[in-house]
Amino acid sequence: MRRVYNFSAGPAVLPEEVLKEAANEMLDYRGSGMSVMEMSHRSSSFETIIRNAERDLRTLLEIPEDYEVLFLQGGASLQFSMIPMNLMKQRKADYIVTGQWAKKAWKEAEKYGEARVIASSEDRTFSYIPDVSDLPISEDADYIYICENNTIYGTKFHKLPDTKGKPLVADVSSCFLSEPADITKYGIMYGGVQKNIGPAGVTIVIIRKDLISDDVLSGTPTMMRYKIHTDAKSLYNTPPAYGIYICGKVFRWLLDLGGLPEIQKRNQTKAALLYEYLDNSRLFSGTVKKKDRSLMNVPFVTGKKELDEKFIAEAEKEGLVNLRGHRSVGGMRASIYNAMPYAGVEKLVTFLERFEKENG
């Protein structure tokens, strides 16, 4: 068996301990005589799995009682429409556009009401986070929308915008559980789990209870109403059961290693190693404004297309895979999520140094 260091932006690396545990339980989950994949979602075994997953997530993020936790399907992308359909009571929302994902969410919201862009960084290929200290927020906006970590461009909001009392809705797909967060600052925090938490197929939505009601846009499908899912505790229909089970194991893994303060420290150490190399390199350079850099996604370039290609090909031979950048940025991108070990980043930096010596 040969495991590589997988720098994919998503689906992405998972903790080896979690994968091994899941492998051990594959044929007989704790005396049930079956795999979690084969189990009824109404069984007591699965009931325990989903309730423990919710409990551990609540512990990790210190989620207060006035927030609901949902395990849904449809990816982060389905939330682009669920959010306006459930929240746009006055048919108005303000969007901060810091990348493709925020832009897609904004475009979707335009179908349901007046979705205004109140700040954007598109003028410089989304390589920075715009100033959000004093935004022209609409008086009657139902919510303010951000994509907190921009997976493609490698930027992150290090300070949340002042929403002047309006609910903040944040897509945290690629920074979910990477550091402590104050949930009370959010109306909705949501993300697909396939970047930093688990396998594709689960979307976690953490939503403040006062935002959940039967008063949704007319025509909203049953499956797209938050209230249907909160009333049924994420079991309105068959949930992505195996995915939720793996998420639960990742939550335990995080708790066992010391929770979000500890994973934040590890993430900072890993990112610092890579950024410090890039800042001192004569061949490679980061593409993002320093103060807005992400701890999770690190795009970088040589400035020469052929050299980028050569780097990606040679890295792959070293077992450093999925380093190709998104087509809209080019170059390389190293996604160094929670489950990427320090040794993986160290090996990448050692290889970068060698490549620079040979090609610089």
Ligand X SMILES: *Cc1c(COP(=O)(O)O)cnc(C)c1O
Select from 41, 92, 156, 195 the one that contacts ligand X (CB under 6 A): 195
- Residue closest to 269 by CA, chosen among 236, 305, 295: 295
Complex with ligand X: residue 13 or 349, whichever CB lies closer? 13
In the beta sheet, which residues pair with residue 6?
Answer: 321
Asked if omega into 130 is within 30° of 0 (cis), the reply is: no
Interior angle at CA 266, CA 263 and CA 271, nearest 5: 120
Q: What is the per-residue binding string for ligand X in 53-82, x denoting contact by CB under 6 A?
A: ----------------------xxx-----
Complex with ligand X: residue 71 or 101, whichever CB lies closer? 101
Q: Evaluate the CA torsion angle 36, 41, 46, 49 in order and state its sign.
A: positive
Measured from each CB, the residue nearest to ligand X is: 75
Complex with ligand X: residue 177 or 349, whichever CB lies closer? 177
- By CB under 6 A, residue 10 contacts ligand X: yes
CA R_g for the chain: 21
Shortest reach from residue 12's CB to ligand X, in Å: 10
Shortest reach from residue 332's CB to ligand X, in Å: 17
Tokens representing 252 are 């335990």
Q: Is 171 a catalytic residue?
A: yes
**Whole-angstrom distance, CA of residue 348 vs CA of residue 322:** 12
- By CB under 6 A, residue 147 contacts ligand X: yes
Select from 174, 264, 287, 294 the one that contacts ligand X (CB under 6 A): 174
- Residue closest to 152 by CA, chosen among 324, 303, 283: 324
- By CB under 6 A, residue 267 contacts ligand X: no
**Whole-angstrom distance, CA of residue 69 vs CA of residue 88:** 21
* Structure-derived torsion over alpha carbons of residues 208, 183, 220, 75, reported in degrees to the nearest 10: -150
Shortest reach from residue 265's CB to ligand X, in Å: 23
Active site residue: 166, 195, 249, 270, which one? Answer: 195
**Residues whose CB falls within 8 Å of the CB of residue 341, separated by 6 or more in sequence, listed in order:** none
Contact region with ligand X (CB under 6 A), list: 16-24, 28-36, 169-177, 230-238 = 169-177
Shortest reach from residue 48's CB to ligand X, in Å: 27
Which residues have a catalytic role annotated?
101, 171, 195
Task: Give the interface with ligand X as residue ranges (CB under 6 A).
Answer: 10, 75-77, 101, 147, 151, 171, 173-174, 192, 195
